[in-house]
Amino acid sequence: MKITTFSMRLSFFCSVILLGAGCHSMSPTTLESKSTETPMPNDSNVAISPLGATANGQEVHLYTLTNANGLVAKVSTYGALLTEMHVPDRDGQLKDITLGFKDLKSYEAGHPYFGATIGRYGNRIAKGTFTLHGKSYTLATNNDANHLHGGLAGFDKKVWEARPLSTEYGSAVALTYTSIDGEEGYPGNLKVEVIYTLTEENELTIDYRAHADADTVLNLTNHAYWNLAGEGSGAILDHELELMADFYTPVDDTLIPTGEIRSVQGTPLDFTTPTSIGSRMALMAGDPGGYDHNFVLRKSGEGLLEMAARVHEPKSGRVMEILTTEPGIQFYSGNFLDGTLTGKSGGNYEKRHGFCLETQHFPDSPNKPHFPSVLLRSGETYTQRTIHRFSAK
């Protein structure tokens, strides 16, 4: 997370980072924006279509981004969701590689955060409580006794405002939402903007920025489920994963970090070299039935945009690389998919039919002062960037 003054232009993110009690500067080229503030005309290469209305009557729209190479990304104003991502294989054949539904009603009925923008806090906060400046806050609990992914009605369940943006890099859409003071128990009124850009370099860039009128905590992420063989293609066990992480944060039996930072060496969590996801899955049977762990990324500097993960699907040849400014990444192997949800292609999503790589600050950081800070101070601005880069070999 980067903290800057709100007077920055979107086309050039300011480069001041909050490090504990002090601020340190870095090169502004680290977060040079892919977008500008200028809305596109109606005949732009961003298509807008109605997706229906929510149960309470709010209109929802779908924004379709395309590039010259045939890639397609679709984003819904409901939940600021990435609903589709069409990417070519080694033979140039396009497939949608994200899990999700065909219709708005299915998203509203409840789902495991398919493609969703997560906030205010991605991942878990123990017992739904934290203390800030000596005051205790109680959050909504929605994961047994813990707070997960923003609570009962997080950002994934909100209807966002949206507008297309002009950019020299590719088509883009900016989505905005205001979270009021006390929503799900969090302090401060918070204004959030998420920008999806599909570049001509076959990258899906997600930029986040936010500011609040009171000190608060914030940890935004995207919860896309990926299957590089194509949505509905079955298990992801043959995908080869490499994580730029030598350490992880062990958890208790409720998936709350113990506070320890432990080496992956000699464990089934060692993905420092490309390794098929399924090769050591049997060793994860009770921990917690697969992978659902926060990995501590190698960083050469706080807030720098650096490689975090690389995934290769051998049959299609598709490759996805993830770069991020965040210090951690949650690798989740779809352990709780159970066949009860019917996906876009008509098949049911069974266990491990998709995986997530959620760039983030660490779980339960508000209660772990030695973890990287998630404090957003009033008058400062949160910014972060994650890039998904697609290719085939």
CATH number at residue 112: 2.70.98.10
**Is the Cα dihedral 172, 173, 174, 179 positive or negative?**
negative
pTM assigned to the model: 0.90
User: How many Å apart are CA 116 and CA 154, to the nearest integer?
Assistant: 10
* pLDDT at position 254: 93
User: How many Å apart are CA 186 and CA 121, to the nearest integer?
Assistant: 10
Average pLDDT of the segment spanning 213-241:
99
Least confident range from 33-37, 77-81, 100-104, 325-329: namely 33-37
| b/e per residue 1-12 (b: at least 16 CB within 10 A) | bbbbeeebebee
* C-alpha to C-alpha distances, 28 to 114, 125, 149, 299, 327, nearest whole angstrom: 33, 32, 30, 17, 18
Least confident range from 13-22, 106-115, 266-275: namely 13-22
* Short-list 222, 224, 198, 201, CA closest to 35: 198
**Tokens matching residue 14:** 């300011």
* pLDDT at position 45: 82
Helix-strand-coil split of the chain, %, nearest 5: 5, 45, 50
Q: Is 211 a catalytic residue?
A: no
* C-alpha to C-alpha distances, 306 to 13, 56, 76, 136, nearest whole angstrom: 16, 41, 28, 35
Higher pLDDT, 302 or 178: 178
Is the pLDDT at 37 greater than 80? The verdict is no
User: How many Å apart are CA 357 and CA 334, to the nearest integer?
Assistant: 11
Which element (helix H / strand E) includes 108? helix 104-108
* Cβ proximity of 354 and 31 under 8 Å: no
How many other β-carbons are positioned within 10 Å of the β-carbon of residue 251? 19
Q: State the DSSP string of 309-330.
A: EEEE-TTT-EEEEEEESSSEEE
Largest CA distance in the chain: 59
Q: Which domain holds residue 18?
A: 2-392
Q: Is 312 a catalytic residue?
A: no
Q: Give the model confidence (pLDDT) of 357-371 as tens digits.
A: 999 999 999 999 999
User: How many domains does the structure of the chain reveal?
Assistant: 1
From the candidates 184, 240, 326, 358, give the one annotated as an active-site residue: 358
Is the pLDDT at 42 greater than 90? The verdict is no
From the candidates 149, 211, 223, 388, give the one annotated as an active-site residue: 223
* C-alpha to C-alpha distances, 23 to 20, 85, 174, 219, 368, nearest whole angstrom: 8, 37, 28, 19, 20
* pLDDT at position 287: 66
Q: Give the model confidence (pLDDT) of 257-286 as tens digits.
A: 999 999 999 999 999 999 999 999 999 877
Higher pLDDT, 9 or 150: 150
User: How many Å apart are CA 309 and CA 320, to the nearest integer?
Assistant: 8
> In the 8-state DSSP scheme, what is residue 348?
B
Q: Where do we find the tokens 């504990």? A: 20
At 29, the pLDDT band (50, 70, 90 cuts) reads: very low
